[in-house]
């Protein structure tokens, strides 16, 4: 008889280190997030998404010349292959944007001339194409499902501004484009979250980068991961639609019913998510500019009520996460709720690709290895580990005799 595996019970691999990484670091107790040595606050204040993507992929901030070359490569790769756009036009218009995005990734793979070249340089070129094209796919699907023409990229615009242009057909002003740029920076990486782990696990089999990214998109789609921002917006809109004005009472009622306050709490952070602090400022800044203060103000009211009620219940570690205020920001920018997780993907693609490359090549001290965790078998079907096979005609109908 096989010997059972002895293990320590663990939920969702919490606290289990599965690999080394040099890409990003989180201190959940202090609310710190670092990309390759740089605090997220500094990058949000001073960097751009292309520069941050370069940092994640190439391990260092670029020189002026390197950044110009990287942005040129991004602009050259923005344009989607015609067969992909034609294929997307045949998809059901009711398809969720995340399903459309996940379906598009393998089609992008078919168009990549470096697909089967597994050198580091080829993977970096694939990463550039993916960083450039995922926003274009998101924008294209949003327009196709509305019966609108897919817009060509505008190479005079920045990465963030072009994303807004291709999605809505309006060239954003500099301030709005900068808000979008910061949002992309904030979501670019977050160590071994569920989608990044999915990417790394898949490519540990030596699958190509696109296979890993498709897995990452699938993992991100769940409401416990990237889909949470859409749930936050649904929560806010429901409060408004129901005419609720007693926010503390509503929060108390939710918690009494064991319901979650969407956007509150994080698997890692025990204080406010540092990205949420920045997004909170952006939400109020953008709301003031566009005349939509309702959403950030309502979010803030829910935050204050939730923190007070949770504190009274001894749950001070439950704080706003990145989704809590990103919902308001994206809504004010004009993105519908079901497109919000796609923005997450259009940003996280930089981190996914960096992690995929790290998984494939390791470093001087580490060697890539196939992910092969163990599980504890808890089946007990006949009172012992291995059952005797009984032919169908001799089996007792358990359901009928019950």
Active-site annotation holder among 142, 159, 266, 331: 266
Tokens of 16: 């289990």
- The alpha carbon torsion through 63, 165, 283, 235 (nearest 10 deg) reads -130
Measured CA distances, 380 to 7, 10, 383, 385, 387 (Å): 18, 21, 6, 7, 9
Separation between Cα atoms, residue 315 and residue 387, nearest integer Å:
47
Q: Measured in Å, how far apart are the chain's first and last C-alpha atoms?
A: 31
- Contact at 8 Å (CB) between 313 and 255? yes
- Contact at 8 Å (CB) between 143 and 150? yes
Q: How many CA atoms lie within 13 A of 374 on its CB side?
A: 9
- Contact at 8 Å (CB) between 41 and 274? yes
- Residue 266 a catalytic site member: yes
Tokens of 78: 């923005």
H helix count then E strand count, the chain: 17, 3
CA of residue 235 relative to chain centroid, distance: 20
β-bridge pairing 38-39 and 24-27: unpaired
- Residue 323 a catalytic site member: yes
- Contact at 8 Å (CB) between 248 and 305? yes
Active-site annotation holder among 112, 189, 273, 323: 323
Separation between Cα atoms, residue 70 and residue 125, nearest integer Å:
10
Q: Where are the beta strands (DSSP E) in 126-199?
A: none
Tokens of 276: 């949420």
Tokens of 137: 């796919």
Tokens of 140: 């294209």
Separation between Cα atoms, residue 402 and residue 400, nearest integer Å:
6
- Contact at 8 Å (CB) between 214 and 134? no
Measured CA distances, 260 to 168, 268, 331 (Å): 33, 17, 21
Tokens of 378: 């808890």
Q: Active-site residue numbers?
A: 266, 323
């Amino acid at each position: 008889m096989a010997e059972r595996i002895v293990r320590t019970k663990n939920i969702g691999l919490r606290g289990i280190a599965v690999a080394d990484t040099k890409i990003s670091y989180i201190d959940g107790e202090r609310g710190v997030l670092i990309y390759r040595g740089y605090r997220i606050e500094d990058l949000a204040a001073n960097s751009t998404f292309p520069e941050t993507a370069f940092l994640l992929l190439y391990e260092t901030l670029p020189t002026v010349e390197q950044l110009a070359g990287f942005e040129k490569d991004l602009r050259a790769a923005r344009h989607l292959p015609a067969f992909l756009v034609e294929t997307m036009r045949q998809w059901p218009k009711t398809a969720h944007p995340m399903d459309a995005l996940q379906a598009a990734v393998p089609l992008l793979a078919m168009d990549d001339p470096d697909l089967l070249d597994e050198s580091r340089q080829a993977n970096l070129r694939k990463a550039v194409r993916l960083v450039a094209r995922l926003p274009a796919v998101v924008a294209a699907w949003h327009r196709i499902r509305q019966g609108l023409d897919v817009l060509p990229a505008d190479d005079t615009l920045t990465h963030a501004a072009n994303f807004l242009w291709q999605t809505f057909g309006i060239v954003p002003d500099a301030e709005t484009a900068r808000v979008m740029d910061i949002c992309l920076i904030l979501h670019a990486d977050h160590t071994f979250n569920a989608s990044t782990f999915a990417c790394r696990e898949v490519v540990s089999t030596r699958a190509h980068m696109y296979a890993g990214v498709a897995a990452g998109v699938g993992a991100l789609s769940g409401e416990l991961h990237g889909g949470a921002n859409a749930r936050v917006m649904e929560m806010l809109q429901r409060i408004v639609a129901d005419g609720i004005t007693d926010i503390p009472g509503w929060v108390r009622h939710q918690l009494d019913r064991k319901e979650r306050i969407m956007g509150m709490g994080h698997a890692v952070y025990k204080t406010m998510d540092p990205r949420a602090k920045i997004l909170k400022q952006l939400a109020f800044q953008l709301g003031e500019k566009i005349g939509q203060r309702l959403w950030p103000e309502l979010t803030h009211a829910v935050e204050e009520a939730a923190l007070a009620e949770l504190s009274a219940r001894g749950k001070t570690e439950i704080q706003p996460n990145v989704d809590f205020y990103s919902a308001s920001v994206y809504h004010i920018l004009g993105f519908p709720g079901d497109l919000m997780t796609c923005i997450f993907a259009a940003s996280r693609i930089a981190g996914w690709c960096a992690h995929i490359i790290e998984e494939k090549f390791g470093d001087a001290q580490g060697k890539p290895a196939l992910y092969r965790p163990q599980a504890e078998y808890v089946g007990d079907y006949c009172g012992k580990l291995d059952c005797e096979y009984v032919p169908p005609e001799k089996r007792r109908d358990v359901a009928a005799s019950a």
